Amino acid sequence: MKTIYSAEKLQKAIMKARPWNLTALILRISNMFPEIQPAFMELIGIIDELKNPADYLYTSMKKLGKNVRWYLRAIFYLAEKILPDFIMNAILRYLINVILIPYFEILDEKSFLKMKKKLGKDRTKIILDIVGEAAKTKADADRYMESYKYVIHQFGGKIAVKPSSLLSKEDFDEHNYDERKEILKNKFAELFTEIKGTGVSIIIDAEEYFDWCHLTEEAFMEVADQPRFRGMTNEIGIALQAYRKDALLSAFKLLAVSRNRLFPLRIRVVKGAYWAEERHIAEERGKEFPLFEKQSDTDKMFNNVVFVLLYYRKSIFVSPASHNAKNIVEALRNANSDYSCFEFEVLNGMGESIRRALTELEVPVSVYCPLIRKGGSPKEGMKYLIRRLDEVAKSSHVLKNV
């Protein structure tokens, strides 16, 4: 007998599994005032470097002027006049460093082992993502490669790899498209060779559309289709962004490559996290905007891509990554309780209630966890943190619906 899911049933399961906390309340309140979120996010990234965060916040609000609702301007005006800066600074540091940042937990080696033990109790798997900025120099790219190799042999499991950490800006600027692709192909091949016989999985992350999307996909498919990697038992995969208008076309191309392999490719289907950056690049370069303008169109494409991939599930491993209850339910219906080549992905911290709800329904889940590279600094995770905060603000996030 097949399980029948509904958005209401899943929503109830999420509500039951979601522990009440102050973080959820703060995030929901912030969603009500999107005009001040950019300034608040910028403050989060630099608060530890500021002597007077309150003054920085007040100045940012004044710059926004009439873009901020009148009653918010009044609140900030009164706070500046009535509250001493040291009290406001203490409040801001508490909200950011004690309440918000731990919610988007970034792991080090010690906390990873605790997380692995905790999630292993209900057979949840972990996908590790080494956080940090894109590699600027060839030396930076070499350091990232060594970090990936260290994680492969020290931690195992599933590892997410950013193309921009392997192909440095230095290389990007020096070479044309075909030359860049060859460099990236060689880096992918080096990683795939490294994981042979280890049981480790490599999943290539998706980044900005104009510079990285097709470069990454073409390099990945050409390497995955090489005879020396077609028969490898390790799982390899790539992320596919659903806010792209050409997402379905890429899904069929990846399917074609996967059919030639002994073990199918893993496709992580995501919504996409670079919309604002892509808009700016398109305008700057005078290019047609390649992404959907409406969230509803992205949601539809997400469902369509998952549906198509699940239709060919014998040839490909499907891994939807979403915190939207409707998308999750749609994927579950299409999976029809056949989880042989299917697994959800959720973000560490942000997706905890969803993870609990899905594991209670005996649906396979992996948790996507950011990891500070060996010798790295917690500050390297700030860009990741800001992206996640921005994602919470999107209308499709589960916090908007519970």
Tokens for 335?
Answer: 């999976």
Range of the domain at 112: 106-400
Which domain-ending residue is among 102, 126, 142? 102
Q: Give tens-digit pLDDT for 120-162.
A: 887 889 999 888 778 999 999 999 999 999 999 988 889 999 9
- pLDDT score, position 28: 62
70 and 160 part of one domain: no
pLDDT of residue 29: 66
The verdict on 252 and 336 lying in the same domain is yes
Q: Is 261 left (phi over 0), alpha (psi -120 to 50) or beta?
A: beta
Total number of domains in the chain: 2
| Residues 147, 152, 156, 162, CA torsion sign | positive
Alpha-carbon radius of gyration of the chain: 22
Domain boundary among 81, 102, 123: 102
Task: Note whether 87 and 110 are same-domain residues.
Answer: no
Is residue 351 within 8 Å of 327, Cβ to Cβ?
A: no
**Is 144 inside any structural domain?**
yes
Instruction: Mean pLDDT check: name the lowest of 35-39, 329-333, 378-382.
Output: 378-382
CATH number at residue 238: 3.20.20.220
Residue that finishes a domain, picked among 85, 102, 119: 102
Q: Are residues 157 and 298 in the same domain?
A: yes
> Tens digits of per-residue pLDDT, 81-134?
999 999 999 999 988 887 776 666 667 777 888 888 888 887 889 999 888 778
373 found inside a domain? yes
Residues 115 and 161 in one domain: yes
Check whether residue 324 and residue 204 sit in a common domain: yes
Residues 46, 169 within the same domain: no
* pLDDT tops 80 at residue 35: no
Q: Is 22 inside a domain boundary?
A: no
Same domain, 90 and 118: no
Is position 226 within any domain? yes
Q: Are residues 199 and 309 in the same domain?
A: yes
Residue percentage of the chain with pLDDT more than 90: 49
Q: With 80 as the cut, is the pLDDT of residue 299 above it?
A: yes
